[in-house]
Amino acid sequence: MSFNNDFRIEPTRLDDTHHASALLALLDHYASDPMGGGEALPAYTLQNLISGLAQRTDFVSFLAFDADQPVGLINCFEGFSTFAARPLLNIHDVAVRNTHRGRGIGKQLLAAAEEAARSRGCCKLTLEVLSNNTGAVHTYLQAGFEPYVLDPAAGEAQFMHKWL
């Protein structure tokens, strides 16, 4: 099977119906994957996500296209590092269609997020990943990410959450 590696990365335009539909479809694809929880997005999310994101000034997103087909997505939110007294960019979602994985799309999306972070004056990029998502972990390590450790004696940081 031969692959076309001429992918196009574009900033997500939420006011463009093609982009908005692509974001929802790719995010739903990710949510339905075992590494995204294994369940489709709820109707409420599908109906309200675009308008909710459009109200945020801290949202950064890019879509990957193979010709006109959306095949990848990265969603990020700006935060703030109190230790560095500068903004940071947290990568919240990375999704690549199963049919297009292993072709460098994730790396291109990460590079776009890094460029956006640098242009915003961010001190770092952050993300969380499931430990068994070995393909994603490999991609992140290749892109220069590393486990968060302040002092090896204190151990690695753990991602935790609490539903409200």
Q: Where residue 93 sits, what CATH number does that domain have?
A: 3.40.630.30
Looking at every residue in the chain, the average pLDDT score rounds to: 94
Residue 80: pLDDT over 70:
yes
Residue 51: pLDDT over 50:
yes
In a domain, 159, yes or no: no
In a domain, 89, yes or no: yes
pLDDT per residue as tens digits for the range 93-108:
999 999 999 999 999 9
What pLDDT shows up at residue 100?
A: 95
pLDDT per residue as tens digits for the range 61-75:
999 999 999 999 999
Q: How many domains does one find in the chain?
A: 1
Residue 1: pLDDT over 80:
no
In a domain, 47, yes or no: yes
In a domain, 102, yes or no: yes
pLDDT per residue as tens digits for the range 112-129:
999 999 999 999 999 999
In a domain, 133, yes or no: yes
In a domain, 50, yes or no: yes
Segments forming the whole domain that contains residue 127: 8-145
Residue 11: pLDDT over 70:
yes
pLDDT band for position 158 (cuts 50, 70, 90): confident
What pLDDT shows up at residue 2?
A: 36
Mean pLDDT across the stretch 80-98? 97
Residue 5: pLDDT over 90:
no
SS3 per-residue string spanning the chain:
CCCCCCCEEEECCCCCHHHHHHHHHHHHHHHHCHHHCCCCCCHHHHHHHHHHHHCCCCEEEEEEEECCEEEEEEEEEEEEECCCCEEEEEEEEEEECHHHCCCCHHHHHHHHHHHHHHHCCCCCEEECCCCCCHHHHHHHHHCCCCCCCCCHHHCCCCCCCCCC
Mean pLDDT across the stretch 21-44? 97
Mean pLDDT across the stretch 41-62? 98
What pLDDT shows up at residue 3?
A: 43
Cα(124)–Cα(86) distance, rounded to whole angstroms?
9
In a domain, 104, yes or no: yes
In a domain, 154, yes or no: no
Residue 4: pLDDT over 70:
no
